[in-house]
Structure 1
Amino acid sequence: MPYHQTTLTFPPYTRGIHVVTPLIQDAICEMLPNKVEAGLVHLFLQHTSASLTINENADPDVRLDTEDWLNKVAPADQPEYRHTLEGSDDLPAHFKSMMLGISLTIPLVNGALGLGTWQGIYLCEHRDSGGRRKLILTVST
């Protein structure tokens, strides 16, 4: 099965949940200018304090509520945390990344991401100042 691969570098995002579906779809179209009927898209985020997930993309409140929930589950500034050299938001960012994960596999259907009607791909930035994030995008056809 042939594959195509590129690395996307996202600009620094503020802490929160960000829709990156169009950026990923554009990168697939650049990699595969001739429409491919079927395949697999694998996304791998090369970071431990950010994550990837798929969720509802229609109502922006989902992103806000997700961020609020994650902050309740893994709050910053906890005195029992030992890993604090990189800031009080770093260890909670690692926890959130472990919960949501750093990779996704999505079917490629008629040259496009095979997402459901309401689905979008989120880059979840868990740090106050996370910086640029790198994503390895692999398409198997």
Structure 2
Amino acid sequence: MEIVQQLVTLRARPRGFHLITADIEDGLSAIGHWRAGICQVFIQHTSAALTLNENADPTVRIDFETYFNKAVPENEPDYRHDYEGPDDMPAHIKSSLLGASVTIPIRNGRLALGTWQGIYLCEHRNRGGSRRLIITAWGN
């Protein structure tokens, strides 16, 4: 059993849902000889999240942003945590709804994603900045 852990810093992206599968795969060059394993990707932030979903049609990412903005609106008068602006607390709620990590099987040296699956960075802040991921994989 081998374990690989890599810190990946993603460039700043605008608010929205962004495919980052290639960024993850770039951090996993050491698994090319593995037959089987598991990969966990963890984001070290409370106002952005990770999820797996449709990787082909970009309108899916637009629809995700539309849904979450309606479900968790900004300028909600009952929010107390707004130190960093009107997108502050909504970003934390959206992040909690989606989650801070994804787990993907490894098969024959690659992430075993489905045909239409990709890994998204869910950026919930207007100016979130760069984001740090810890990618941990174990396998043989």
Would you say same fold, with TM above 0.5? yes
Q: CA deviation at 1:117?
A: 0.4
CA distance, structure 2, for counterparts of residue 23 and residue 75 of structure 1:
30
| Inter-partner Cα distance in structure 2 for 1:36 and 1:42 | 15
Q: Paired residue for 1:137?
A: 135
Q: How does 1:1-141 map to 2 (within 5 A)?
A: 1-29=1-29, 31-32=30-31, 34-141=32-139
Instruction: Give structure 1 stretches of 5+ with no counterpart.
Output: none
In structure 1, what residue type is equivalent to 2:8?
L
Per-residue CA shift, 1:104-141, capped at 9, x if unaligned?
11000111111100000000000000011000000101
Cα deviation for residue 2 of structure 1 reads 2.6
Find the residue that maps to 1:14 and give its secondary structure: coil
Distance 2:62 2:109 in 1: 31
- Segments of 5+ residues of structure 2 without an aligned counterpart are none
Q: How many positions carry a matched residue from both structures?
A: 139
Equivalent residue of 2:28, what SS?
A: helix
- What SS does the corresponding residue of 1:24 show, helix, strand or coil? helix
* Structure 2: distance between partners of 1:25 and 1:6: 11
TM-score, normalization: structure 2? 0.96
Q: Distance in 1 between matches of 2:23 and 2:86?
A: 31
CA distance in 2, matches of 1:124, 1:35: 31
TM-score (norm: length of structure 1):
0.95
Q: Which runs of 4+ in 1 moved over 6 A?
A: none
User: Could you tell me the percent identity over the aligned residues?
Assistant: 53
